[in-house]
Amino acid sequence: MSKKILMLVGDYAEDYETMVPFQALQMIGHQVDAVCPEKAKGDFIMTAIHDFDGAQTYSEKPGHRFILNADFAEVKEEDYDALLIPGGRAPEYLRLNEQVIKLVQAFDQSRKPIAAVCHGAQLLAAADVLKGRTCSAYPACAPEVRLSGGYYADIGIDEAYVDDNLVTAPAWPAHPQWLAKFAELLQK
């Protein structure tokens, strides 16, 4: 059964964590509405490509222009079946937007599936939805998960973790598991 998924993105969202879920979920029949605060349908965000190339942390390279296909100003949680939060640098500033935080909280209060990858956990922590829950994220976000009352799942970079309606993963190498587990939740 086709589901309607809201994807929260912003400038310098991680390229693979934005493009791959957006396309893959559509490929299996779901509608994915990509939105960004203060931007409208037809506007674009700039993505960034994060790679693991031997430095102490990921490197960042210019990504693509990702075209938004819906308007943030018109988004209501009750119109969607699930929420998807890519990582990258976007969650760092999106978590400062009160409307974004309220949306994340509404999806969680409704127990709708939420998929977050990498730095997407910053939005979950800021929305105060991690208390007593286990969440994976990019390892640099582990302190935020713990400070928000959650338990950090220290799993392989290519693994995903499910806690009730929440599916999380450390980074884009986990896409096969992360998206498969999210797709399973969408069928329930």
The set of catalytic residues is 118
Which residue's structure tokens are 């896409």?
175
Distance CA 5, CA 57 (A): 31
173 vs 178: CA distance, rounded Å: 9
Among positive and negative, which fits the CA dihedral 6, 9, 13, 15?
positive
If one counts every other C-beta atom within 10 angstroms of the C-beta of residue 163, the result is 16
Question: What is the chain's percent helix, strand, coil content, to nearest 5?
Answer: 35, 25, 35
First to last CA, the chain: 10
